[in-house]
């Protein structure tokens, strides 16, 4: 690979936005490290296809829910050179009666969607701070700002990611590092189909007819997302590309993509209030470069 190419790490490269992003950035001439679980097993064909797409693509096995897996993966990546851009794209989502999900199931989602992002960010940030440059894009969701029924355990992980990212963005701005959120609406990426049903069957039974509502809702979403009217996942890939292409320090904190459910309006009203905390804490001159 050409050592002068900018290096991107894209997690969750086996499907959906991640798979599309690997191809899009490779086509633009970037050096890509894509990560996926079970790259030598059930995803071996996807690994081979992505690496065949471009000589600038390397796919490695990584489970972001595992400290050891992330450490091993990034040791391999960083041995080949610094990372310029990290796109945290991996995610899992469970849809159902909130009370009926076990604490273990809630933790599973948090380990991947929230702690997994922290693991990967902590792996690249020392190098980015030393270089005084870098970009991290965290894939959130509309439900990182709002909380619809039946999405609560998933929504909680995205609310956590949003809060972590917002504060981190301020702290990293003096180092020339941008941190941004992409907030997709519903897209036909297979995220819904890969989820789990609630494990607390006794609680589920006590909800009566309401217990069937999440399944019906999921079926409705699936049908819509497979229709011609559904937004295309490429829109999220395009948002990733646009953020990478923007000048450092000019990237917005949040980018809503696809169906908005009013979250774009919420962001426009909320961000100035959020940024006012810097003035209230007398940090505006130190950290004000992250406002946007």
Residues assigned a catalytic role: 14, 140, 154, 158
Q: What does the DSSP assignment read for 100-168?
A: GS-HHHHHHHHIIIIIHHHHHHHHHHHHHHHHT-EEEEEE--GGGT---TT-HHHHHHHHHHHHHHHHH
- Are 137 and 239 a contacting pair, CB within 8 Å? no
Alpha-carbon gap, residue 117 to 185, rounded angstroms: 20
Buried-exposed string 82-115: b where 16+ CB fall within 10 A, e elsewhere: bbbbbbbbbbbbbbbbbebbeeebbebbbbbbbb
Residue with token string 């505006």: 284
In a 13 Å sphere around the CA of 178, the CA atoms on its Cβ side amount to 21
The tokens for 71 are: 């450490």
Spatial CB neighbours of 238, under 8 Å, sequence gap ≥ 6: 24
Classify residue 274 as exposed, middle or buried by CB count within 10 Å of its CB (0-12, 13-18, 19+).
Answer: middle
């Amino acid at each position: 690979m050409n050592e002068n190419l900018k290096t991107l790490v894209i997690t969750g490269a086996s499907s959906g936005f991640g798979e599309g992003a690997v191809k899009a950035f490779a086509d633009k001439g970037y050096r890509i490290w894509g990560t996926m679980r079970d790259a030598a097993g059930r995803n071996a064909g996807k690994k081979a296809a992505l690496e065949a797409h471009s000589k600038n693509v390397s796919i490695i096995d990584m489970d972001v829910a595992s400290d050891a897996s992330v450490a091993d993966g990034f040791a391999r990546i960083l041995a080949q050179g610094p990372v310029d851009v990290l796109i945290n794209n991996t995610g899992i989502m469970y849809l159902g009666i909130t009370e009926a999900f076990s604490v273990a199931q809630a933790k599973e989602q948090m380990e991947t969607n929230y702690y997994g992002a922290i693991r990967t960010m902590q792996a690249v940030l020392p190098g980015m701070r030393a270089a005084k440059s870098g970009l991290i894009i965290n894939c959130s969701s509309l439900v990182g700002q709002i909380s619809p029924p039946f999405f609560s355990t998933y929504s909680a992980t995205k609310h956590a990611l949003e809060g972590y990212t917002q504060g981190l963005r301020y702290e990293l701005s003096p180092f020339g590092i941008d941190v941004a959120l992409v907030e997709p609406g519903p897209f036909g990426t297979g995220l819904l189909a890969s989820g789990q049903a609630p494990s607390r069957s006794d609680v589920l039974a006590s909800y009566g007819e309401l217990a069937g509502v999440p399944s019906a809702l999921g079926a409705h979403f699936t049908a819509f997302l497979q229709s011609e009217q559904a937004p295309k996942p490429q829109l999220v890939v395009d948002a990733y590309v646009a953020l990478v292409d923007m000048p450092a320090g000019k990237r917005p904190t949040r980018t809503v993509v696809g169906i908005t459910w009013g979250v774009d309006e919420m962001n426009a009203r909320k961000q100035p209030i959020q940024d006012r905390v810097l003035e209230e804490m007398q940090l505006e001159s130190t950290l004000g470069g992250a406002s946007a």
